[in-house]
Structure 1
Amino acid sequence: MTRHPLSLSGFRLLFIGRTISTLGDAVVPAALAIAITRATGSSAALALVLGCAMVPKLLLLPFGGVAGDRFDPRLVALTTDLVRAVAQLLVGLELLGGRPSLTHIALASAVGGVASAFAMPTTSPLVAATVRGELRLRANALLGTATGAARLGGPALAGLLVYTAGPGWAFVLDGASFVLSAALLTRLTVDRAESAQSAGSATAEPRSLLRDLAEGWSEVRSRDWYWTSLIAHGVWNGASAVLLTLGPLIATTRLGGDGAWVALTQAGAVGLLVGSLIAGRVRPRRPVLAGNLALALFGLPLLALAVPAPVPLAVAAQAVAMAGLGFLNPLWQTVVQQDVPAGALARVTSYDWLLSLGAAPLGYALAPLAAGAWGSRVPLLAAAALVTLVCAGTAAVPGVRRHGVRPAAATGTTSDTAPEPMAERPPAQARVKP
């Protein structure tokens, strides 16, 4: 391959915008955990705020997928960036006021969750519309690398802001990052005529919302490797919710203070970055299987916090676990973008997010309840065992074992995996406004 994804003007704008907004988002988790823990001293309060963002996101994700397939995904992404900017700025102002209201923060988080439900399904269609063929794996790996790099700098910046200016400025920065991302998206125009025609969208004939939802779900359930992997991804997110809910308080009370939690989150960002870099250079014969097995490593930090292990060991475990996630993401996104028709990609992606994230609210709700009844060790050990067994257990599914990324036709090679992915439809063209 002689070209680089960043040589494509459309992808370059998308890449810069997503990187900026990811950097802003990477500042928020550590700042939010510290702010809520300081204000209330309760992991249940943190779980409430996280749940308020997650629940509307889950409920509306399928409708976000329909919107991404029916309308210009660039316009959908731009609008949601502006809504999330307002929500984060409101939280920042609430924290800067000195007497934050948990109710106001929870409401703003819910608004941000609604916007995220419509924003998340747009990324894959925009990548597919701006990058062709084998360059997509490099593009997805590049986005994953940028995400890891942003999350690496985010916790450090969060710590700097929290200990100097206060956690409210972290949310102000996040809001500003969404404004900048929206400004970049105004420069990108995506021609959706081809993919809309292939999907039979409303531009060709009237369509019902239920029919669109049903067609998207049919694309999901027709692939055994897809929906079984999503179950494993859901368990991973449920286990992650347990760690996010109980981890900050354990770090504060048993591992030496707020700095330990910041160190864990930063180590996770390093791992995510390294995993994405590896995914961009390695071509596993069975990428879905390899990615799912990498996710099973998340049992390590859960076990480390349950003991609890010394801080260096816990930090190393978190880095290894997040490297598994960084390795999975580009491979998974490339397989999906190749296998799913362009006109259904946003809907399939929305179900992907829905099933993957569906267990997170359960983790947020059950983790503090279980910790209150039996101590934090029990839910952490249970989550560690479950995520390890389920993610590794996908190896028993024939489609997971056999499915691979199809080489581009120009290479003159054939896949060594058993099932040939669906013929890929040409992506819609993308151009930059003059």
Structure 2
Amino acid sequence: MTSADASDSPRGPAGTGRNYRLLTAAAVVTNLGSNGALIASAFAVLEAGGDGGDVGLVAAARTLPLVVFLLIGGAVADRLPRHRVMVTANALNCLSQAVFAALVLAGHPRLWQMMLLSALGGTGQAFFSPAAEGMLMSSVTGEQAGRAFALFRMAMQGAGLGGAALGGAMVAAVGPGWVLAADAAAFAVAGSLRSFLDVSHIPPREPGGGMIADVREGWREFSGRPWLWGIVVQFSIANAVLGAADSVYGPLVARDDLGGAGPWGLALGFFGAGTVAGALLMTRWKPRRLLLAGTLCVFPMALPSAALAIPAPVGVLCAVMFLSGSLVEVFGVSWMTALHQEIPEEKLSRVSAYDWFGSIALMPLAAALAGPAEAALGRSAALWGCSALIVVVTAAVLAVPDVRNLRRADRPLLPETPDTPADTERPVGGLG
């Protein structure tokens, strides 16, 4: 293979392959729609006469099937061509959001209808996410993989920034129904892009013992790495309380104290801007101790909940959202780099499924309990509790030796071959 061929190959130099470009473009389109839809769905419930508890129920309805089907989705993605799994999931998301939009635009959607459509969206996400993560990691090679992940996340988060700001403004200007319709269109475009992905570079899977055996094999890979399951447990709690704050308390504080959907969309936009800044930093910075640097940067995730608890003025809220977004992106890039260098390619989607499963397992419960917790403790006390939990679990995970000691790899995993040029070989992990 010539150097020109290598640059056009799905496994060409890190960050320049055709698959990488398609995945990045599709992620940009999806995030433009989905970040606005997150705001729109909450305000659709409120405009239909719902309260904070109803907003939590709709959020929980999306997350529950995501939890239920993730492990199956990971096994399916390691068995079937990943791009086909992704396209099918995008089609389901497109359909569910289109119907949701039609109901909202027609006026007065019922709570059970919004919950059902959110559940269909969560089901699609359960199959999409493990396939997408495995596809991205298999499309990037070399010691510059961290930079490629940072550039991908910068593009994705930049789209999230625009989507959140635009979505909040559109909800305020034309209502949530049109924002949901735009999200459905975004899924259609993204699915079309992903249909052109090339999986010919991925070796055929060896015949296995069935779906259950694949799930068990993924569990062995996951549970045998303390740094992996330790951080997943940490984020199981942290994501649950953050999800409650973002999907339930944030819109309520915005409605009651900040002026409505527009300021909340602006605050989410500043978080997105922070993630772009953090990703830009990670294109240059390569921390030697990947997970130690990343975990230390998780502590500021407690700040937005604290700002909502006060509640702080919009300017202060935007500042802490920007700071937390920029620092948590250091964790995000470090985490992807660690998975890329430590997990075998043929098990990436199954390990990713366990990662996703653990990270979101408590989110339906937290979202459903957000309303009752507000009624029992008060909104401010519930938000302070969210901040405290994030600090406690982040401090606890630093007690895991592998989290403190896992290092960026120096030596290549793959020998030099015509398909993997010498300057783009994939490294192995520091824990071997």
Fold-level match, TM-score > 0.5?
yes
- Segments of 5+ residues of structure 2 without an aligned counterpart are 1-6, 413-421
Q: How many angstroms apart in 2 are the aligned matches of 1:362 and 1:102?
A: 18
Which residue is 2:242 aligned to? 240
Which residue is 2:78 aligned to? 69
The DSSP-based 3-state class of the residue aligned with 1:252 is helix
> Aligned pair 1:20/2:23, yes or no?
no
Which residue is 1:345 aligned to? 348
Match of 1:153 among 152, 162, 166: 162
Q: How many angstroms apart in 1 are the aligned matches of 2:173 and 2:197?
A: 37
- Among all aligned residue pairs of Structure 1 and Structure 2, give the percentage whose two residues are the same amino acid: 31
Match of 1:265 among 259, 263, 268: 268
Shift of 1:195: 5.5
Comparing 308-317 and 114-123, the one that deviates more: 308-317
Shift of 1:6: 4.8
Q: How many angstroms apart in 1 are the aligned matches of 2:364 and 2:195?
A: 34
Which residue is 1:289 aligned to? 292
Shift of 1:405: 2.4
Shift of 1:35: 2.1
Match of 2:213 among 204, 211, 215: 211
Which residue is 1:376 aligned to? 379
- Segments of 5+ residues of structure 1 without an aligned counterpart are 423-434
Q: How many angstroms apart in 2 are the aligned matches of 1:273 and 1:352?
A: 23
Tell me the amino acid that sits aligned with residue 33 of structure 2: G
> Aligned pair 1:115/2:124, yes or no?
yes
Q: How many angstroms apart in 2 are the aligned matches of 1:243 and 1:386?
A: 12
Which residue is 2:415 aligned to? none
Deviations 1:333-363 (A, max 9, x none): 1210211111111000000000011121222
The question of whether the paired residues in 2 share the 8 Å contact of 1:238 and 1:363 is answered with yes
Shift of 1:4: 6.4
Q: CA RMSD in A?
A: 2.2
Deviations 1:86-145 (A, max 9, x none): 111111111111222222111111111111100000122212332211232122111210
Shift of 1:71: 0.8
> Aligned pair 1:48/2:57, yes or no?
yes
Shift of 1:319: 1.6
Q: How many angstroms apart in 2 are the aligned matches of 1:159 and 1:306?
A: 21
Shift of 1:38: 2.3
Deviations 1:292-346 (A, max 9, x none): 2211211111111112222211221122122232221121112102111111110
The question of whether the paired residues in 2 share the 8 Å contact of 1:124 and 1:333 is answered with no
> Aligned pair 1:95/2:97, yes or no?
no
Q: How many angstroms apart in 2 are the aligned matches of 1:97 and 1:370?
A: 33
Comparing 174-183 and 66-75, the one that deviates more: 174-183
Which residue is 1:254 aligned to? 257
Q: How many angstroms apart in 2 are the aligned matches of 1:249 and 1:356?
A: 25
Tell me the amino acid that sits aligned with residue 110 of structure 2: S
Shift of 1:15: 1.3
Comparing 306-315 and 175-184, the one that deviates more: 306-315
Q: How many angstroms apart in 2 are the aligned matches of 1:263 and 1:161?
A: 12
Alignment of 1:257-406 (within 5 A): 257-406=260-409
Comparing 340-349 and 101-110, the one that deviates more: 101-110
The question of whether the paired residues in 1 share the 8 Å contact of 2:219 and 2:351 is answered with yes
The question of whether the paired residues in 2 share the 8 Å contact of 1:17 and 1:184 is answered with yes
Q: How many angstroms apart in 1 are the aligned matches of 2:369 and 2:114?
A: 21
Shift of 1:59: 0.7
Shift of 1:270: 1.1
The question of whether the paired residues in 2 share the 8 Å contact of 1:286 and 1:402 is answered with yes
Which residue is 1:427 aligned to? none
> Aligned pair 1:222/2:224, yes or no?
yes
Shift of 1:185: 1.8
Deviations 1:14-38 (A, max 9, x none): 2111211121112111222222222
- Cα separation, partners in 2 of 1:102 and 1:41, compared to 1, 3 Å: closer
- Cα separation, partners in 2 of 1:158 and 1:379, compared to 1, 3 Å: same
Which residue is 1:428 aligned to? none
Match of 1:142 among 127, 131, 151: 151
Q: How many angstroms apart in 1 are the aligned matches of 2:143 and 2:178?
A: 41
Tell me the amino acid that sits aligned with residue 347 of structure 2: A
